[in-house]
Amino acid sequence: MKTIVKCYWKSCLVLGIFTFLEEGTKVVQPIFLGKMVIYVENYDPANSAALHEAYGYAAGLSACVLVWAILHHVYFYHIQRVGMRLRVAVCHMIYRKVNVTRHHGVYLP
């Protein structure tokens, strides 16, 4: 297990950063959406400052959706690659362990 951690800690750290950013955008989206709902509920045609604020919330919501869409696909691609590498590494460790135990005459059923 120590060897796997030594080999793959960098990729897991990068994936952790991707996960943090992806989850951060998912947390911020409802906040922007709530601000948009508040603007619609308290609509005042004479208040142009509120309109510009609502435009900012809409832009923020759109940016969050775009960032989430891009990060999600990048994250999923890299997590699949790391998963396959880990599977190969663990299978290799098991294979070597079985060969060593058979070579020394110790067979554990």
Distance CA 73, CA 18 (A): 10
Distance CA 64, CA 25 (A): 5
Average pLDDT over residues 3-26: 86
Residue 3 makes CB contacts below 8 A (sequence gap 6+) with: 93
pLDDT digits over 64-99, tens only?
999 999 988 888 998 899 889 889 988 988 888 888
Distance CA 74, CA 68 (A): 10
Reduced DSSP (H G I as helix, E B as strand, rest coil) percent helix, strand, coil of the chain, to 5: 90, 0, 10
Dihedral sign for Cα atoms in the order 84, 89, 90, 91:
positive
